[in-house]
A and B are shown apart, each in its own frame.
Chain A
Amino acid sequence: MIIRNIVLRHGRQVIVASASPSCCVRALSTSTAKSATTATAPKGPTNVPSFFTTPEQRAKIAALKEQMDKVPDNFKEFRSIQKKTGKIGAVTQPRHLPDEMLKYPPHDATLEMLMAAQAHMGHNTSLWNPANQRYIYGVREGIHIIALETIAAHLRRAAKVVEEVAYHGGLILFVGTRRDQRPIVVRAAELAGGCHLFQNWTPGTITNRDQILAQGKLRMVDELDRDVPGFDDHIQECRPVIPDLVVCLNPLENYPMLHECGLANVPTIGIIDTNADPTWVTYQIPANDDSLRAMALIAAVLGRAGQRGQERRHADAEDGVITWETPSDVRRFVQNTLTAKAQEKKDQERQSVEQPAWGREMVESDEDVAKAMKQLADEEGI
């Protein structure tokens, strides 16, 4: 069971505590606001009024305009020449650059890409976990070789899981605690709109979250991820959030985290090398966890899947289709607040009906008194 995160993703019934003054001002204002920061269009030669320039200046402007008019055609021709002659001399096929996966993350990994990233290289045959034998293709040079088709199939399954969790408004956590995995997890989390962790997982971050995550800030957002005001009370009182899906790049070094995820019913995706335990995670991706290039490739594919899920979710939200439900505690808070406000209003009405206007000391504000005095003065003709 996936535990809903504690953010309000409410449809059209958004509770707003008070109308902000700027709304009222904008609604009442009839003047068209002219922003001071709008850049005025640069005045070309045609806009120069004639009485500001001498004949010589006008001739110069006309000559300049004539020159500038030639530029688009000339430039188009220049570009076509560049295109034709740019590739003469050699067929240039750049080698792999390590930052390539971060800058241009692919949506899918082909078998060639996985092999080039050395994702098929397992550990020495004596170090294997026999539970992984279904992923292994064979032995070469004393190491187990993970089948490329298996890697691709499992990666695509994991990508589907990530995409659908993101589509249904889930919070995805990318974990990679090895030093050089930092930029990889950060980029993947950025793409998927999730969170990243590249330092050690503090044991108890899920099971003892009330203490460990007490400092963390929370946001209340609606279906388009916009902040919703009026939930400060709830945010202060509610429990810290746990992720809906955890993607781990090195499960062998993160057993406490994976164990806690299991206790809290959080599904996990993990890169399972030939010496790792496949039962530690929910969705295995058999691959070489010691190859940074392979980690970058797999994380990029999963990040892109998360990005696709987020985009689909936003697109549906704009059409009015909300793909998730408000969590139960938020719903409870909303219900209690509504009930309390209704009760308050009822009490006020009852009070105003029961008490007579005369024979009782009425505590009024200074402004009301002043207003009443003025009204009286106008009526009296003073």
Chain B
Amino acid sequence: MFRSRLRIPRAPRSGLAAPSSSSFLQSLPFTFSRGVHHLPSFEHPFNEHGVPGLLSTTGFHVAWTQYQSLMLQNLETATAGTEWENKDLKQIILNSARQPESAVLFNYASMAHNNHFFFRQLANKPVEMPENLQVALTQSFGSIETLRNEMILTARAMFGPGFVWLVQVPNPPGRTSTFKVLTTYHAGSPYSGAHWRRQSVELPTATKDPGDGTGLGREWVQKSAYGAGKKAQEGEKRPEVPPGGTDVTPILCLNTWEHVWIMDYGIGTLKEGGLKQYARAWWDVIDWVKVKDAANLTRHPMRV
């Protein structure tokens, strides 16, 4: 190994202001140092006009530009000098999900990934749902209205911050495709490779056993046993994974973290405003073409 040395000493880096019209935001210090992870851009001009129908310019700036930059900077700080320094976010997520000591890496990487996933599926103007996606979703949920209500009510029911996902699962014999709604709290990940950090339920509210508090602990032990090669016994149900495939494909998500909607929708009341209004507004700005591309409808489905 060798290092090269520059002859000219570098000038000290100074903090630069964020490029925005608001004076409040201008006063926040930002350092644009050359990093490994850069902020992704969108095909729509969200930076200038926000997300029409969902977020204002300021709201988008807080929810995306500032928050995503912060997540990526934190991730760079956490991975600097380690083996994860130049790795993709998904690799970091899958490899740090199991170890509690790499929780920092997982949190920042997963949060950045989920946040980008949310903003990617948003459109500039209303997009009609493609025919095949409509048929497939209707088969799983009965109707599109039901799916909409399911996702909005799930978001409403989540007490803490997190994400509400629409995922595709492997097909049981005789069906073309199956979808279901999934929740992940905080920075939980829906991917099956990171199932250790799914965080689909809030810890205090999840009790499988009455009173003794070992519900989730037992689940953890069981997962470890399956990982070590234990066969499923009579009565125990093990999730069917298609051989060579994966059991969860996320196609759509809703970001229910407060910082995303609080500036534009406020806290709200029982009847209106707040998270409920935000979730309803979100349904109308979903880019269903992108959702269809993420789903596997036209190709050969995964067989269990």
Q: Which residues of chain B come closer than 8 Å to A92, judged between CB atoms? A: 36-38, 86-89
The reply to whether A77 and B243 form a contact with Cβ atoms under 8 Å apart is no
Q: Which residues of chain A come closer than 8 Å to B109, judged between CB atoms? A: 89
Q: How far is the CB of A296 from chain B (nearest CB, A)?
A: 8
**Contact check: which of A88, A94, A95 meets B113 at CB < 8 Å?**
A88
The reply to whether B86 and A293 form a contact with Cβ atoms under 8 Å apart is no
**Residues B95-110 near A (CB distance < 8 A):** 109
Q: How far is the CB of B35 from chain A (nearest CB, A)?
A: 8
The reply to whether B38 and A90 form a contact with Cβ atoms under 8 Å apart is yes
Given A81-B249, A88-B113, check contact A74 B243 (CB 8 Å).
yes
The reply to whether B39 and A88 form a contact with Cβ atoms under 8 Å apart is no
Interface centre among A81, A87, A91, A99 (most CB of B within 10 A): A81
CA distance A77 to B1 in the complex (A): 40
Q: Which residues of chain B come closer than 8 Å to A294, judged between CB atoms? A: 4
Which of the candidate stretches A64-72, A130-138, A196-204, A323-331 sits at the interface with the other chain? A64-72
Q: Which residues of chain B come closer than 8 Å to A94, judged between CB atoms? A: 36, 85-86
Question: Which single residue of chain A is at the shortest CB-CB distance from B92?
Answer: A89
How many residues of chain B get a CB closer than 8 Å to chain A's CBs? 46
The reply to whether A74 and B38 form a contact with Cβ atoms under 8 Å apart is no
Number of A-B contacts (CB under 8 A): 122
Question: Is residue A143 within 8 Å, beta carbon to beta carbon, of the partner chain?
Answer: yes
Q: How far is the CB of B64 from chain A (nearest CB, A)?
A: 12
Q: Mark A153-197, 1 if CB is under 8 A from B, else 0.
A: 000000000000000000000000000100100000000000000
The reply to whether B1 and A67 form a contact with Cβ atoms under 8 Å apart is no
The reply to whether A121 and B7 form a contact with Cβ atoms under 8 Å apart is yes
The reply to whether A89 and B244 form a contact with Cβ atoms under 8 Å apart is no
The reply to whether A67 and B243 form a contact with Cβ atoms under 8 Å apart is yes
Question: Which single residue of chain B is at the shortest CB-CB distance from A182?
Answer: B2
**Contact check: which of B1, B2, B116, B249 meets A89 at CB < 8 Å?**
B116
**Contact check: which of B3, B117, B243 meets A88 at CB < 8 Å?**
B117
Question: Is residue B299 within 8 Å, beta carbon to beta carbon, of the partner chain?
Answer: yes
Given A84-B294, A143-B7, check contact A78 B37 (CB 8 Å).
no
Given A88-B113, A92-B87, A92-B88, check contact A73 B302 (CB 8 Å).
yes
CA distance A91 to B72 in the complex (A): 10
Q: How far is the CB of A339 from chain B (nearest CB, A)?
A: 56
The reply to whether A86 and B90 form a contact with Cβ atoms under 8 Å apart is yes
CA distance A93 to B36 in the complex (A): 5
Question: Is residue A290 within 8 Å, beta carbon to beta carbon, of the partner chain?
Answer: yes
The reply to whether B40 and A91 form a contact with Cβ atoms under 8 Å apart is yes
**Contact check: which of A78, A80, A81, A85 meets B244 at CB < 8 Å?**
A78
**Residues B118-151 near A (CB distance < 8 A):** 120
Given A70-B303, A87-B88, A90-B89, check contact A121 B8 (CB 8 Å).
yes
The reply to whether B300 and A77 form a contact with Cβ atoms under 8 Å apart is yes
Q: Which residues of chain A come closer than 8 Å to B38, judged between CB atoms? A: 90-93
**Contact check: which of A90, A143, A290 meets B112 at CB < 8 Å?**
A90
CA distance A376 to B109 in the complex (A): 96
The reply to whether A81 and B72 form a contact with Cβ atoms under 8 Å apart is no
Given A74-B244, A94-B36, check contact A89 B7 (CB 8 Å).
no
**Residues B11-40 near A (CB distance < 8 A):** 34, 36-40
The reply to whether B36 and A95 form a contact with Cβ atoms under 8 Å apart is yes
Question: Is residue A362 within 8 Å, beta carbon to beta carbon, of the partner chain?
Answer: no
Q: Mark B234-248, 1 if CB is under 8 A from A, else 0.
A: 000000001111100
Q: Which residues of chain B come closer than 8 Å to A85, judged between CB atoms? A: 90, 117, 191, 250
Question: Is residue A382 within 8 Å, beta carbon to beta carbon, of the partner chain?
Answer: no
Question: Which single residue of chain A is at the shortest CB-CB distance from B301?
Answer: A77
Given A71-B243, A74-B245, check contact A290 B7 (CB 8 Å).
yes
Question: Which single residue of chain B is at the shortest CB-CB distance from A90?
Answer: B37
Question: Is residue B199 within 8 Å, beta carbon to beta carbon, of the partner chain?
Answer: no
Question: Which single residue of chain B is at the shortest CB-CB distance from A295?
Answer: B4
The reply to whether A91 and B1 form a contact with Cβ atoms under 8 Å apart is no
The reply to whether A90 and B116 form a contact with Cβ atoms under 8 Å apart is yes
22 pairs, CB–CB < 8 Å, chain A vs chain B: A67-B243, A73-B302, A74-B302, A78-B302, A84-B293, A85-B250, A86-B90, A89-B109, A89-B117, A90-B37, A90-B89, A90-B116, A91-B40, A92-B36, A98-B2, A98-B3, A118-B4, A121-B8, A290-B7, A291-B5, A292-B4, A294-B4
Which B residues contact A (CB, under 8 angstroms)?
Answer: 1-8, 34, 36-40, 72, 75, 85-91, 109, 112-113, 115-117, 120, 191, 242-246, 249-250, 293-294, 296, 299-303
List 13 extra interface pairs beyond A72-B244, A292-B3, CB under 8 A.
Answer: A73-B303, A74-B244, A85-B250, A87-B90, A88-B89, A89-B109, A90-B116, A92-B86, A93-B36, A93-B38, A98-B2, A118-B7, A292-B2
What 4 pairs across the A-B complex have the smallest Cβ distances?
A74-B245, A94-B86, A71-B244, A89-B89
